[in-house]
A = this chain, B = another copy of it.
């Protein structure tokens, strides 16, 4: 019997994001995906990611920790990047910042992401901005 190894699917999903291979996104993300309890759908999900890459041209997703159990993946992602203008309401203006995102994913039976609950470490970015001077 073939059993999908969810952590492998997830690593391919992250590679897809880093390659900005948007036509491939539907292989990983369900049509009716919910993001932080809002139904944004695949098209909304893709728009969100495309906007992220427009605003952060050097965006790259790095998996720091991956915890997988049943239909769930929890991942700690790290970023080292330079948002062009505002990010999370903060004036970054091209400064380089490092931060993490702790994020949970629920996959349905066919191995696609149906729910995402993400938190980005905004407080950490704020303290970096204070250190390097606004």
| Chain A residues proximal to chain B, CB less than 8 Å | 65, 67-69, 72-74, 76, 88-89, 100-104, 117-123, 126
Report copies per complex: 2
Is the Cβ of B104 less than 8 Å from the Cβ of A74? yes
Is the Cβ of A88 less than 8 Å from the Cβ of B119? no
A14 to B100, CA, bound (A): 24
Main secondary structure of the interface of A (DSSP, over half): strand
Is the Cβ of A121 less than 8 Å from the Cβ of B123? no
- Return chain B residues, CB-CB under 8 Å to A117: 65, 76, 100, 102
A99 to B89, CA, bound (A): 18
- Return chain B residues, CB-CB under 8 Å to A104: 65, 67, 74, 76, 102
A123 to B90, CA, bound (A): 11
- Return chain B residues, CB-CB under 8 Å to A118: 102
- Return chain B residues, CB-CB under 8 Å to A100: 117, 119
A121 to B121, CA, bound (A): 8
Is the Cβ of B123 less than 8 Å from the Cβ of A102? no
A11 vs chain B, min Cβ distance (A)? 15
